[in-house]
Every structure is written in C-alpha cells, then in structure tokens.
Amino acid sequence: MTQGTAVVVGASHAGAQVVAGLRQQGWSGRVVLIGDEAVLPYHRPPLSKAYLSGKSAIGELAIRKPAFYAKQEIELRDARVESIERAERRLVMADGHSLSYDKLALCTGGRARLLPVPGADLPGVHYLRTFADVEQIRESAQPGKRAVIVGGGYIGLETAASLLALGLDVTVLEAAERVLMRVTAPEVSAFYERIHREAGVTIRTGALVEAMTGEDRVREVQLAGGERLRADLVVIGVGIEPNTELAAAAGLVVDDGVVIDDNARTSDTDIVAAGDCTSHWMTRYGRRIRLESVPSAGEQAKAAAATMCGKEKTIAALPWFWSDQYDLKLQIAGLSAGYDEILLSSDPTRDRDFTCFYLREQKLIAADCVNRPRDFMRSKQKITEGLEVDRAELVQIAAD
C-alpha cells in the first residue's frame, strides 16, 4: 500500500525520519506528522551542549527546514493524541478532533524521569529534555551562580561542561559509587571524573539526594545524612522513561517500550513504532533492548517507513552513541553489558585520548573511543564481524 493516509505521532528524530522515508519509499497519499511542541522536529543531543552553552539557536537544530515539509506535502500538526481507536483506525485528539489513518507510526520518544523527593517541584529545579527546558535553564544560568546537577550520566556530565563554560560554579551529585556506572568500565568513569575535576567541576559520588528546600525557589539540596548544599539552580538528569501510555491504552504489547519486530511492526500490523519509545529483540545480544540513541531511532524509522509502504527493511545496524564534553568526543560502538575483559589503549589516567575495548569470550562486543575516530570505525567493523580477536589485533587497531 502506498496510498491513503499515513499518520506519524511524535515529531521526534524518529518521526521526522519516518515521514521523509515514506516519501522516499513511494507513499503517494496523505502524510501527517503530529507533535506537541510548537517547533519543527529538532536534534536533541545538542540541547545539553551547543544549545545550552549558547553556541547555537533552535532554528539551527532543525532536522529539516520548513521548505522540505512543504515540498514533500507533509502536514505538520501541533496537537496531542489522546487515544488510538484501532478498530476504526482513528486517532482522537485532546481537543476532541479525530483523524483517520490507514497506516500509523508511533514515535512518541521518552520523557525525563522525575526525581521523587520533596521540593523537586520548586522554581529553579529543572529537567533537560526539550528546548523549552533549556530555555528555562538558561534564564537561571548566570555567571557566578551555583548549579547542582543530580545525576552523573551523559546528560548530567554534558550539562556540567556547558554550565561551567557559562561561568557557573558546578557540582555533580551521583548516587552510585562512580559516574557513568551503568554504561562504562571503572577506568572510563575515572577518566571522566578526572577531566571534570581538572576543569573545575565538583564531583560527589555516593551522594543520595533526600530533598530540595527553599521558599520562593530552590535554595539548598539536602543529602542523606543531613548535609546541605547551596544551590541557585538544580538540573536533574536521572534518565528517561518511554512514552508508552498511548500504545498500552490501545492494547499494543508493551515491555519497557512498545514491542516491535525486526521490521518495526508492533502487535498491530497497521501500526509501526520507532525511536526511544520502542523495545526490540536484538539477536546479537540475545535480549530485548530499548535504545536511547539517535542512530538507532533513524535505523528503526527507515524500517518503519518501508513497512508502512508494504516493503521490508530489517533493523540490523550495530548500536552506537556519542557524547561531547569539553574538547572530548566520546564515540561508543556496541553495548558493553556482560563484558568479561577490557583492554585499554593509551593511559586514561594521564592522556586525553584513548580507547577502552570490551571483550566477552575473546570477542569484541563494544568500544568506548575518546578522541579516537579511527578506533571507533575499526571497532564497529570488528564487532559486526563477530569473530574472535586477540589482544595484539586490538592494540594494532589503536596503533594504526
């Protein structure tokens, strides 16, 4: 089918790619993209980096310019979908209007996970997920102010680097024993703690936030044990939760994300899904995984568009990610969960460029490459091959 009405819910990176892919795959009928932000679909990764630090404007982050949507005859709607009536193939909006579809794509993304402590709703306490969130943070981010960041993951550390560049005094609070604990080896965590401390950021690990206090706005962050840290603004970055409520209410299968197959189909053959809201069985890792990744969203969106057009494109690309902090570009190939050995190229306790190779049963499964783009490209190739490698071969990758 390439005619009728194709509707995409979620003006995310995945949503923008699906509507473009529909036209590329030959969909000649109506295409509607529904989003709940009053801006064109935009790149989210720069929000905690270039956009927060004032190096770019929201218009520069647009995935595609307005002329693209006009030329491709893609309708953009600023609305919120209240429910999916699958039997009638119809969407009901929050304002009561409805829209019929022949094929539907759910690209609803995720939302910032809330921190359930007293005072987290005080003025001056922020989350960082949308451009509107960043606008509010920038209003509070005056030079000399004290910023406390709750969460030592990638978003937290990127935000720390950006706020430091704006002249703020920055403290990062991480509840675990090290930053990036869920996603990297201890050696990589130690490297980033060193880099941030050398830059002037205060890193506190094992720091559990119990409350935030203040009358008109946040003034202090209280830790377990009673210690209080003064704060002019707080940014909470403790992960995201997938927006699956719409799919679940419609009876679609949900398991830490909307469940999709290798062609991005949900449990309803007329509905596909892509992006941060999805959960996909990955044979390479032998488990169902929800990836929070722009490259993954793009890969799934291309498969979703093909499926909507009656074609087949398999989701098979190796997961990869990146993070920019200061002058460091971290490129991550693969998923390191379950590794039984690591190999380091260079010395992360001293240098500002190195690679951490993750192995399981003598096979390379992932690599964290800091300012090592060649290592990243070669690692992707080696991981995809799935063959046994030896230490000498990995050292050679880093030396080439």
Q: Are residues 67 and 151 in the same domain?
A: no
In a domain, 171, yes or no: yes
- Which residues are within 8 A (CB) of 269 and not within 5 positions of it... i.e. 6 or more apart? none
Question: From CA 72, how far away is CA 74, in angstroms rounded?
Answer: 6
Q: Are residues 58 and 156 in the same domain?
A: no
Question: From CA 129, how far away is CA 109, in angstroms rounded?
Answer: 11
pLDDT of residue 389: 82
CATH number at residue 354: 3.30.390.30
E strand or H helix that includes residue 264 = none
pLDDT of residue 49: 86
Q: Are residues 147 and 229 in the same domain?
A: yes
The pair of structure tokens assigned to 224 is 């377990």
Q: Are residues 90 and 47 in the same domain?
A: yes
Q: What is the pLDDT of residues 338-372, one digit of tens each?
A: 999 999 998 999 999 999 999 999 899 999 999 99
Tell me if residue 207 falls in helix, strand or coil.
coil
Q: Are residues 294 and 380 in the same domain?
A: no
In a domain, 286, yes or no: yes
E strand or H helix that includes residue 211 = strand 209-213
pLDDT of residue 48: 92
Q: Are residues 217 and 70 in the same domain?
A: no
pLDDT of residue 120: 96
Q: Are residues 180 and 155 in the same domain?
A: yes
Could you give the number of structural domains in the chain? 3
Tell me if residue 381 falls in helix, strand or coil.
helix
Report how far apart, in Å, the C-alpha atoms of 282 and of each of 315, 316, 380 are: 9, 8, 16
pLDDT of residue 398: 59
Domain boundary among 236, 259, 292: 236
Domain boundary among 211, 236, 261: 236
Segments in the chain below pLDDT 70: 1, 395-400
In a domain, 147, yes or no: yes
Number of H helices, E strands in the chain: 9, 26
* Residue 248 domain boundaries: 5-111+241-308
In a domain, 181, yes or no: yes
pTM of the complete model: 0.94
In a domain, 205, yes or no: yes
In a domain, 321, yes or no: no
Domain boundary among 174, 206, 236: 236
Q: Are residues 223 and 153 in the same domain?
A: yes
Q: Are residues 190 and 217 in the same domain?
A: yes
In a domain, 29, yes or no: yes
Q: Are residues 10 and 99 in the same domain?
A: yes
CATH number at residue 166: 3.50.50.60
User: For residue 356, how many C-alpha atoms fall within 13 Å in the half-sphere facing its CB?
Assistant: 26
Question: From CA 163, how far away is CA 143, in angstroms rounded?
Answer: 9
Report how far apart, in Å, the C-alpha atoms of 298 and of each of 64, 134, 173, 291, 294 are: 14, 24, 32, 12, 6
In a domain, 155, yes or no: yes
pLDDT of residue 399: 60
Q: Are residues 281 and 228 in the same domain?
A: no
Q: Are residues 143 and 231 in the same domain?
A: yes
